[in-house]
């Protein structure tokens, strides 16, 4: 049994390892630099002394998911400052691109002294945790200091449920201290309930990721890139690929090129530290490889075979330029469990995934039900499916339309989420004013 006391002792004992991982400079990622002190709670004071709404989003994906909520909060509470915390520097970079009354700090490591120091300096009114980033000391200290904690867009896979159950003695009490959990679906709610949470703590709102909106600027940038690549060329994107998967995708694309010599592949590795290695791999197979980071909006890319998406935060633009999307993290066994198909679906793209998509089983199941996604098991099946969709463009258009229908049918989570958040925020701010 791992108690919270033993857990905290282990945290302190392994501090050198933890901080070496947090502060390690990785190729392709911005360095933390002298902001390392924020990980121990020594964060610069906020520009506005008013109690902020604290939103914790671990990295880039969670910041993207939080963006519709951030926009809605800014509309409803235009004078209320927002404090966004991330664990990664790439997440911090994404926050920097947001506009409005927002400040970023790094999330303190789960040492009691660090969390207390952070809260003392930031004075948050309440804390919104995106998805499932639950830390025992942080949850306990927030409760002790009367700071409501609400988990938003929460999901809990069967695998994660087993992990929490394995350490039930550590998490049982902290989980009881959460004010509310807004679950993505009934399965998530059931799994959270199995961990001892009460029904009063749980609601099902759907996932805010269905409430996707792409600006005209993003769509226009995608259309402009498509024009550069060649308006009449078939464009395939392999999104969020992992190590070992790029080789599969490139080999499949070699087969595609045999049938469709004018096809172009946009390849987007999941992790920026791999950009250079993947570029070398692409060049070894396709000399006509171009990197987005090295091209300009006026460059002619009509002879390009591979367009490497080695930039951050531009996935919607690259998707908008494409016809067909293969979603990575799904063809390398059960290491990753796939990635979210909702962005390509919202852009009416024909979607393809490998067999390992357990992290997004509900969304993928809905897409399968309406033939909005195809599942392939290996390199050959991937090549064959892409060739079929290129040869039969009407099939690709139909798949994309059906994929988008899933997104449209499930919209509305944002309004449900905001109803609960407004209740807690209004209550908290009113109590703060009374004090």
* Per-domain boundaries in the chain: 4-211+412-434, 216-410
Q: How far is CA 433 from CA 16, 143, 159, 269, in A?
A: 42, 19, 43, 48
Distance between CA 398 and CA 111 in Å, rounded? 52
Phi (first) and psi of residue 334, to 5 degrees: -100, 30
Q: What is residue 31's predicted lDDT score, i.e. its pLDDT?
A: 80
Q: Strand runs (DSSP E) across 329-389, as ranges?
A: 350-353, 373-375
Q: Could you check whether 4-211+412-434 and 216-410 share the same CATH topology?
A: yes
Distance between CA 149 and CA 26 in Å, rounded? 32
Fold observed for domain 4-211+412-434: Rossmann fold (3.40.50)
- β-bridge pairing 235-241 and 180-183: unpaired
Q: What is residue 243's predicted lDDT score, i.e. its pLDDT?
A: 95
CB 56 within 8 A of CB 133: yes
Assess whether 273 carries a catalytic annotation.
Answer: no
Q: How far is CA 207 from CA 210, 272, 282, 404, 414, in A?
A: 6, 27, 36, 15, 8
Distance between CA 162 and CA 165 in Å, rounded? 5
Q: How far is CA 242 from CA 60, 88, 204, 251, 287, in A?
A: 16, 18, 32, 15, 21
Selected catalytic residue, list 38, 45, 62, 79: 62
CB 100 within 8 A of CB 27: no
Structure token pair of residue 197: 């949470």
Q: What is residue 338's predicted lDDT score, i.e. its pLDDT?
A: 94
Structure token pair of residue 14: 């392994």
Sheet with 180-183, edge to edge strand ranges: 102-106, 82-86, 53-56, 126-130, 149-154, 180-183, 202-204
CB 115 within 8 A of CB 138: yes
CATH of the domain spanning 216-410: 3.40.50.2000
CB 312 within 8 A of CB 272: yes
Q: What is residue 434's predicted lDDT score, i.e. its pLDDT?
A: 58
- β-bridge pairing 289-291 and 82-86: unpaired
For the stretch 2-38, pLDDT in tens is: 788 999 999 999 998 888 877 777 666 678 888 999 9
333 burial (CB, 10 Å; 0-12 / 13-18 / 19+) is exposed
Structure token pair of residue 33: 């630099």
CB 253 within 8 A of CB 265: yes
Helix (H) or strand (E) holding 165: helix 158-166
Match 């499932």 to its residue by tokens: 132
Which pTM value belongs to this model? 0.77
CB 90 within 8 A of CB 59: yes
Sign of CA dihedral 115, 116, 121, 123: positive
Can you give 200-239 as a three-state secondary structure string?
HHEEECCCHHHCCCCCHHHHHHHHHHHHHHCCCCCEEEEE
For the stretch 309-326, pLDDT in tens is: 999 889 999 999 999 999
CB 203 within 8 A of CB 178: no
Q: What is residue 254's predicted lDDT score, i.e. its pLDDT?
A: 98
Sign of CA dihedral 351, 356, 357, 362: positive
Sign of CA dihedral 87, 92, 340, 256: negative
Residue segments in the chain with a per-residue pLDDT below the cut of 70: 1, 26-29, 434-435
């Amino acid at each position: 049994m791992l108690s919270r006391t033993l857990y905290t002792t282990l945290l302190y004992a392994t501090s050198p390892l933890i901080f070496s991982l947090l502060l390690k400079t990785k190729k392709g990622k911005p360095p933390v630099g002298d902001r390392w002190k924020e990980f121990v709670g020594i964060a610069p004071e906020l520009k506005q002394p008013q109690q902020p709404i604290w939103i914790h989003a671990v990295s880039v994906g969670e910041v993207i998911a939080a963006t519709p909520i951030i926009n809605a909060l800014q509309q409803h509470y235009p004078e209320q400052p927002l404090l966004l915390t991330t664990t990664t520097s790439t997440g911090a970079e994404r926050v920097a691109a947001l506009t409005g009354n927002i400040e970023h700090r790094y999330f303190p490591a789960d040492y009691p002294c660090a969390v207390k120091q952070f809260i003392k300096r930031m004075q948050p009114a309440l804390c919104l945790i995106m998805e499932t980033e639950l830390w025992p000391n942080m949850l306990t200290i927030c409760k002790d200091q009367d700071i409501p904690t609400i988990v938003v867009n929460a999901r809990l896979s069967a695998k994660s449920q087993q992990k929490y159950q394995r350490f039930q003695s550590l998490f049982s009490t902290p989980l009881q201290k959460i004010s509310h959990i807004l679950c993505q679906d009934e399965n998530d709610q059931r799994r959270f309930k199995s961990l001892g949470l009460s029904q009063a703590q749980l609601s099902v709102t759907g996932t805010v990721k269905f409430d996707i909106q792409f600006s005209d600027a993003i769509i226009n940038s995608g259309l402009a890139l498509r024009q550069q690549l060649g308006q009449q060329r078939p464009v395939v994107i392999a999104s969020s690929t992992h190590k070992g998967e790029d080789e599969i995708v490139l080999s499949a694309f070699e087969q595609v090129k045999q049938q469709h010599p004018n096809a172009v592949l946009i390849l987007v590795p999941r992790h920026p530290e791999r950009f250079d290695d993947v570029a070398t791999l692409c060049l070894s197979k396709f000399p006509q490889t171009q990197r987005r980071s090295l091209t300009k909006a006026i460059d002619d890319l009509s002879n390009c075979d591979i367009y490497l998406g080695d930039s951050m935060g531009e996935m919607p633009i690259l998707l908008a330029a494409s016809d067909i999307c293969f979603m990575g993290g799904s063809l390398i066994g059960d290491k990753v469990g796939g990635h979210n198909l909702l962005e390509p679906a919202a852009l009416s793209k024909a979607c393809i995934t490998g067999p390992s998509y357990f992290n997004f089983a509900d969304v993928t199941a809905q897409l399968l039900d309406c033939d909005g996604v195809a599942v392939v098991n290996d390199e050959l099946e991937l090549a064959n499916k892409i060739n079929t969709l290129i040869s039969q463009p009407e099939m690709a258009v139909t798949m994309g339309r059906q994929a988008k229908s899933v997104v449209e049918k499930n919209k509305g989570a944002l309004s449900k989420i905001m109803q609960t958040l407004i209740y807690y925020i209004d209550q908290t701010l009113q109590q703060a004013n009374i004090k």
